Structure 1
């Protein structure tokens, strides 16, 4: 019987694992042999290693597609193994680094446009993955922002929903996230990292810099409105299950989520973590947003109450609020409804569209 921490993790995030590419069979077999939270990352590493071994076999046989798909599965398995798992930060950091390389191996085989970006920033480097839609010379693009312990390696299928509609994607590990977070802690003014990214991209002729969107999930749903409030180059923003003020629900967060914030923010203890979480506050920010904004959440969200996201929309001049009655955190239990809606909305705002949409309009 799994311990309470494992039961909590599955109750909150099992649909999210599946939505973002964890094979259901990998999940069930891994959970079945995991007795305690301490076993969680080691057992997910074992599952990821099995997929990586299969990927190497496929590579050796010259089967690039099969290898790419296996590398993607290895990466996302390993990512979710160290997701909000703070029991051994060195082991979690190593899993982060390996997951990054596995996603790059997957992109090299599955998407020839995939490109790793290294963005000079403050006292470190911010990392991102760029992907471009086929058949579009200068596509608009969307910066995709993860949450508290999410990373760009989690976004392969989220990216695809935008790519299919003619939008390029730039998935970002900002301060406190993924490989960037190994050096740079969480900061409330996340927009400075996106500004540095946009500065780097400005010199590229293969992207349309007059049509730029930003979309963030969970804590990224706080970061994305911050970006839109301060970065004039953003033309549309989506926030998914984001908090208005993260510290408001501190006492109700799962213990592993609070511990993750403490570690990722550089706080000394839980009380300092609470204080830093209260600094992630959109008071006076949403009213500065001058572009179309879509806020999406689920009424059954047990991590970020839907009223927090609703407040974001209410205080944004051009804000639209969509709440799925049966949706959970990130609406990850309804991906066939939420993701197409979000991607269609962004494509409409940026004047993009899929090849099928363009043919229908012709």
Structure 2
């Protein structure tokens, strides 16, 4: 899709398109996104934060006034948009983990979403805490009604940078509309646990998903024989990794599929994979360190990804972040251990993981389907922003049919 805003900064445009995509399920208004974007200085992270925060503050204040006046639907809608705008405000700030601005914006995003959730009369949206090791993971339970009837269930999580709250706009509401019980959560490395407790990502995601499935099975609204898992973006690797070992899952969806993050780390390093890995993990590699700094200076996406990656992986240098990616792979027979029917989504113009959905699909030995979304459909970008209704319709039609076939 042509960059309509921020023509010289791919990452700023993608994040703007991402906010626009949430219009489909109430997370933005077109005019608010455009007017905010027009005030932002291209490539300036402080400007991005300032303008999105201003929009979020204005929209949330209007929602508060609507609530005080008894206009609950207007208040709910405003809180939803404000939540998404606060999420956007903090997006580029993680290069400085001690910057108080991103904690403030994150807290406001969560508070606004919870205010909106409390105003729904259907579906019912309840904040939950999922037991995990010595703590809990934050999430939301979506119930189609209050009957307590067991229903096919979808567990959802995001990936490298998405929030549990954002999943409302990118799949949770669409699933509950179709009669599913939905459980969304943030795992370690994702915003809730990272902001609140400093928990960073771990590659053995099965040790995250298993306690989430344990929790889901205690809920009366969950049909334990029909639990699906959906992972978005980097979650398109994490969810398959979990499904390779957690065989209670009845279906798996990777939006979009990712096979091996290590391939991103080594792609510009001369030599074979083993030599590149040794180079990344070496005690000292000043030439590589300098090369990574140069890449960050020249490539807007790399600059953001490495800064954010150091934050969510809990490491201090670009090379350490690149080395951490080596542990996130479905190679060495892991993908082949997935048993449940699996849907792998692919974006024809993916900016981040091009080719990886096909690599995952080719290695699956379970019942499998590949869905490719194109630019002509408005869906060719990573995770299909701009075509949310189209992409979710195809994804959930597949899930409906998969569960119907196993009923």
> TM-score scaled by structure 1?
0.91
Structure 1 segments, 4+ long, off by >3 Å, are 3-6, 250-253
Distance 1:70 1:346, change over 3 A: same
**Structure-1 separation of matches of 2:10 and 2:161:** 16
Deviations 1:334-359 (A, max 9, x none): 2232110001111222339xxxxxxx
Does 2:322 align with 1:314? no
> Residue 230 in 1 paired to residue 256 in 2?
no
Task: Tell me if 1:19 matches 2:17.
Answer: no
Among 197, 205, 216, the alignment partner of 1:190 is: 205
* Larger Rg computed on CA atoms: 2
Distance 2:320 2:302 in 1: 17
What are the Cα deviations for residues 190-213 of structure 1, in whole angstroms up to 9, with x where unaligned? 221221122222222222111100
Q: Is the 8 A contact 1:175 1:190 kept in 2?
A: no
Write out per-residue CA displacement over residues 129-179 of structure 1, whole angstroms, 9 at most, x where no aligned residue: 110113762111111110111011112232122112111111111111111
Aligned partner of 1:141 in structure 2 is 153
Q: Determine the C-alpha separation between the residues in 2 that align with 1:323 and 1:59.
A: 42
Aligned to 1:179: 192
Residue of structure 1 equivalent to 2:264 = 249
Task: Select the residue among 311, 320, 345 that pairs with 1:296.
Answer: 345
- Aligned partner of 1:357 in structure 2 is none
Deviation of 1:5 after TM superposition, in Å, equals: 11
Give, in whole Å, the separation in 2 of the partners of 1:42 and 1:13: 15
SS state at 1:181 partner: helix
Tell me how far apart the structure 2 counterparts of residues 77 and 348 of structure 1 sit (CA, whole Å): 35
Size of the alignment, in residue pairs? 349
TM-score, L = length of structure 2: 0.81
SS in 2 for 1:331: coil
Give the CA deviation at 1:184. 0.8
| 1:84, distance to aligned residue in structure 2 (A) | 4.2
When the two chains are superposed, the root-mean-square deviation of aligned CA atoms in Å is: 2.1
Q: What stretches of structure 1 of length at least 5 have no aligned partner?
A: 353-362
- Conserved 8 A contact 2:63-2:74: yes
1:4 CA drift (Å): 7.7
Cα distance, 1:127 vs structure 2: 0.9
Q: Structure 1 stretch 227-236 or stretch 342-351: which is displaced more?
A: 342-351
Aligned to 2:390: 337
Q: Distance in 2 between matches of 1:257 and 1:6?
A: 17
Determine helix, strand or coil for the equivalent of 1:243: coil
How do 1:200-279 residues align onto structure 2 when only pairs under 5 Å count? 200-250=215-265, 254-279=302-327
Q: Is the 8 A contact 1:145 1:223 kept in 2?
A: no
- In structure 2, the residue corresponding to 1:234 is in which secondary structure? coil
Out of 133, 138, 159, which is 1:122 matched to?
133
* Residue pairs, 1:25-44, within 5 angstroms: 25-35=31-41, 36-44=44-52
Task: Give the SS at the match of 1:140.
Answer: strand
Unmatched tracts of structure 2, length 5 or more: 269-298
Does the 8 Å contact 2:76/2:119 carry over to 1?
yes
In 1, the alpha carbon distance for the partners of 2:137 and 2:8 equals: 31
Match of 2:370, SS state, is strand
SS of equivalent to 1:31: helix
Tell me, yes or no, if the aligned pair for 1:176 and 1:184 is still in contact at 8 Å.
yes
Tell me the alpha carbon deviations over residues 275-306 of structure 1, each in whole angstroms, 9 at most, x when there is no partner: 1111110112110010100001111111111x
How far the C-alpha of 1:87 sits from its partner, in A, is 4.2
| Per-residue deviation, residues 241-278 of structure 1 (Å, max 9, x unmatched) | 23211132246853101211111000121111011111
